[in-house]
Amino acid sequence: MNGHAMSRREFIRLSAISLAAGAVAAACGGAPTPTPAKPPAAQPTATKVAAPTATVAAAPQPAAGRVKVTFMVPGSQQEDADFAPVFEEFNKRYSDIEGVYTPAGTGYTDQYNDKVMTMVAGGIAPDVFKTLFPNFGTWADMGIYLPLDDLVQANPDITQFDDFFPNHIEGCKIKGKLMALPNDGAPNGMWYNVDMFEQANVKLPDLEWTWDTLTEAAKAMTKKEGNVITQYGTGRPNWLISVWSNGGDLLDVDFKKCLMAAPEAIEALAWMQNLVVNLKVSPGPQALSEQNESDRFTTGRLGTTFGVRGSLGTFRSIDKFRFDAAPMIMSNKKKRVTQLAIGWTSIWKQSKNPQQAYKLLAWVCSPEGQRLRISRGFAHPSRKSLISQDWFANYTCPKCNSKNVNMVFPEMLMRGEARVPPPHPKLAQINQVVTTELDSLWDGSKTPEQVGAAIVAKVTPLL
Amino acid sequence: MLVHLSPHLGIRQKEAIAGWIFASPWVIGFVVFTAGPMVASAVFAFTDWNIVQPMRWVGLQNIQTALMSDPLVWQSLRVTTIYAFVSVPLQIVLGLIVALLLNSKIRGLEFYRTIYYLPSVLSGVAVALLWRWIYAPDFGLINSTLASLGIAGPGWLGDSRWALPSLIGMSLWYVGGGIVVYLAGLQGVPTELYEAAHVDGAGWWHRLWNVTIPMITPVLFYQLVTGIIGALQVFTQALIMTEGGPHNATLFYMLYLYRNAFQYFKMGYASLLAWILFFYILALTFLVLRSSQFWVFYAGEIREK
């Protein structure tokens, strides 16, 4: 308190200025301003796709009369960069709308869900946004999405509805209403180590492979040194895909009954348990606690693994062995149903500009909008017209064995072999119950019948 | 400045105003970001609320569900309690032993102190990933060492019998943080007490048991209280290393609460779970506080028999 002593008048004047400044700062901070885009991240390794050149479109101020429409996806910095040309082009095409890409900064994690939900609760959600599995049914049940059927009908030219894969559109419906458009979406297939197959004299996988074929191949490729299994023949199959392919399901069509104790489901569980527990040709929980499946595959310690075409983002770096992709295997009943991971893209029900938001939504899901983004990465288009284009159909990497890495995935879609998990509002909780109960399947502490019965007992109260 | 605030105010009033002004950032922060949410969550605990839709008052239903019909609440409380009751004493004992060693006069003492403290500054996620490799069943550090001795190691994180002990063992990684506190306590023990004990013929053990430990009981008490509170809120390790499995063997309470709040969007129920944990921690802390009168000694304190 040394030096100049402040008079009462000075104190009051300074206080008034401080209060006014605080009020202005609060007013500025309170408005939902667009987050400036991060600069495009550099490609980690050289790829065929072009390096990002454009910046994310986030015009400093909307031009007079332009309606601002915001968009959010749970991407990485790479994905932010991939969307840049999409928004640049949109803002050129629509002089009356300003599309603003808002980086979530969360990646594909639960933090994205938290962010969107908090924004929805706070009344500042983006006009258009993506939804992560398994929340599509949950958020639809909460009434977050604007049903799109009327907008699709009113805008046939910009929607080009018939060009979507039917499985994608089916997966975007809740109780018959279209709640999203698919921005992308990939079915699961089987990736395999070509060199490992050839060394074990096993015929390479094809369209006709069944559970039995895979089991025999896995037995031939599994290697053991002492008590340690150094190489597993196959990754662990997805439980829901196995149940579907065997004619079963998780829930009935009305979501009122859990079907995991049905013979079709039990048979699928038994096959999976046999691979892991009895034959030990697929890694169990202890082996997976050491190294996950993707790492086992990329390090050449796993014959096959299951995943979407986007796995190329990781697998393209493989330089020690040749690899390839095959359709998802069929059950022994010769039926193939695989899981489809869709990029559900929806309009917020409280959007003040639903018409303009739909134009942005339709654009990012359009063939050209998808091409601008996906040709820079490894997502799978939801558009039939894109899969024959050169950038998709002829992608190669040093150790990709054939063009199957590009074509087996859309071919499963063309045959209508993919579907999404049931969009039950409590799917996250149901999924957790099943995952926990399957622990007993993988360590052999329960029979498939006991596991199925336990799943039904715990899922039923949630329905 | 305050001298000129008002000629009508006394010096005590002016000091009080100044105090409140300087404390106001914390007070406002506490009210807005701590007390406010706590009060709000107390209300949410009696509602069914998913953040987006209007909350629905359900009275005591959440309490009934948590206590009567949700076995995972009890499972997660059991797991968390075992973790706290085993890991905290282990951390205290091990931390004290290392601190005693580091309190001796040896060459390179600062180097050793730095080495022991270093793990405490690493982030939780990095440490969790590191320990995943240490516990790897086939090629991990522990099982490789056991294998060289002819012992087949367990499956650690992938085995429901060993997953929780594995996380308890991993908690000792952070023992360095406590060592700093113990060292401060040990160096505060008056040397004349040791000299008097030495003159009386007390050996190393008797000096430790009758001088050192009684004199640092306030430090042990502090470590016990903060250790219990911290252990009951463990989250990162379970989320990253085991996701609560296998067989819910590492389903820590905070992980279960997180799932309900942010994966199942049951914010009302999650708020109730948070309050249950609050009262559980409060009860345990109260017990420790009550017990402290029997084993914590403060310098200059005179107790009536």
- Assembly ipTM: 0.83
**B152 neighbourhood in chain A, CB within 8 Å:** 227
Query: Does residue B98 sit within a domain?
Result: yes
pLDDT band at residue A55 using 50, 70 and 90 as cut-offs: very low
- Are B33 and B141 members of one domain? no
- Comparing CA positions, the residue from A277, A281, A278 lying closest to residue A223 is A281
A276-305 per-position pLDDT tens digit:
999 999 999 989 988 899 999 999 999 999
What is the mean predicted confidence (pLDDT) over B8-17?
A: 88
Which residue from A5, A120, A440 is facing B52, i.e. has the nearest CB?
A120
Domain count, chain B: 2
In Å, how far are A187, A256, B270 from A422, measured between CA atoms?
15, 12, 25
Distance from CA of A378 to the nearest CA of B (A): 27
| Beta carbons of B136 and A289 less than 8 Å apart | yes
Chain A residue with minimum CA distance to B71:
A458
**Whether A443 and B138 lie within 8 Å, measured CB to CB:** no
Same domain, B34 and B166: no
- Residues B128 and B17 grouped into a single domain: no
Mean per-residue pLDDT of chain B: 90
pLDDT band (50, 70, 90) for residue A53: very low
Q: Region A3-23: what's the mean pLDDT?
A: 43
Least confident interval from A13-27, A320-334, B238-252 = A13-27
Contacts of A142 in chain B (CB under 8 A): 50, 52-53, 265
Between A42 and B201, the more confident residue is B201
B139 and B34 in a common domain: no
* pTM listed for this prediction: 0.84
How do A223-225 and A338-347 pair as beta strands? Answer: unpaired
Q: Does the pLDDT value for residue B183 go beyond 50? A: yes
Identify the H or E element spanning A346: strand A338-347
Contacts of A8 in chain B (CB under 8 A): 4-6
What is the tens place of the pLDDT at every residue in A151-175? 999 999 999 999 999 999 999 999 9
pLDDT at residue number A38: 34
Contact (CB<8Å) B136/A121 = no
B163 to chain A, minimum CA–CA distance in Å? 10
Same domain for B209 and B240: yes
Q: Is residue B177 part of a domain?
A: yes
Is B2 a member of any domain? Answer: no
Contact B137 A286 (CB under 8 A): yes
Q: Are A205 and A326 spatial neighbours (Cβ–Cβ below 8 Å)?
A: yes
Q: Is residue B56 part of a domain?
A: no
Q: Smallest CA–CA separation between B255 and chain A, in Å?
A: 13
Check residue A39 and give its pLDDT.
33
The answer to whether B88 touches B228, Cβ cutoff 8 Å, is yes
Q: How confident is the model at residue A21 (pLDDT cuts 50, 70, 90)?
A: very low
- For residue B124, the model assigns a pLDDT of 77
The pair of structure tokens assigned to A166 is 């039917």
Q: What pLDDT score does B298 carry? A: 82
Contacts of A150 (CB under 8 A, 6+ apart): none
pLDDT tens digit string along A371-387? 999 988 888 999 999 99
Write the residue in A6, A284, A429 that is nearest to B4 by C-beta.
A6
Do residues B35 and B182 both lie within one domain?
no
Same domain, B98 and B129: yes
Tell me, yes or no, whether B246 lies in a domain: yes
Helix B267-295 to helix B217-231 angle, to the nearest 10 degrees?
Answer: 160
Residue of A nearest to B249 (CA): A436
**For B4-18, B77-91, B227-241, which range has the lowest pLDDT when averaged over its residues?**
B4-18
Contacts of B42 (CB under 8 A, 6+ apart): B271, B275
Residues in B whose CB is inside 8 Å of some CB of A read 1-6, 50-53, 132, 135-140, 152, 155-160, 242, 244-248, 259, 262-265
Confidence check: pLDDT of B215 > 80: yes
CA distance A102 to A129: 10
Residues in A whose CB is inside 8 Å of some CB of B read 1, 5-8, 11, 110, 113-114, 117-118, 120-121, 138, 142-144, 227-229, 284-291, 426, 428-429, 432, 435-436, 439-440, 442-443, 445
| Dihedral class, residue A51 (left if φ above 0, else alpha if ψ from -120 to 50, else beta) | beta
Do B27 and B161 have their domain in common? no
B29 and B124 in a single domain? The answer is: no
Q: Assess whether B285 and B225 both reside in one domain.
A: yes
Centroid of chain to Cα A82: 16
For residue B242, list chain A residues with Cβ-Cβ distance below 8 A: 289
Q: Please confirm whether the linkage preceding B246 is cis (ω < 30° from 0).
A: yes
CB contact under 8 A, A440 and B247: yes
CB B255 within 8 A of CB B76: yes
Cβ(A95)–Cβ(A66) below 8 Å: yes
Q: Assign residue B66 the CATH number of its domain.
A: 1.10.3720.10
From the candidates B48, B263, B266, which should be mutated to test the interface with A, based on the most A CB atoms within 10 A?
B263
Residue A42 has pLDDT above 60, yes or no: no
Band (B109; pLDDT cuts 50, 70, 90): confident
DSSP string computed for B168-223: HHHHGGGHHHHHHHHHHHHHTS-HHHHHHHHHTT--HHHHIIIIIHHHTHHHHHHH
**Mean pLDDT across the stretch A391-400?**
90
Do B159 and B39 fall into the same domain? no
Domain extent for B22: 11-44
Percentage of chain B exceeding pLDDT 90: 63
DSSP A108: S
Rg over alpha carbons for chain A, rounded to the nearest Å, is: 26
Cα of B129 to nearest chain A Cα, Å: 11
Are B26 and B141 found together in one domain? no
Q: Is residue B105 part of a domain?
A: yes
Nearest CA in chain B to A2: B1
Please determine, for residue A35, whether its predicted confidence score (pLDDT) is greater than 90. Answer: no
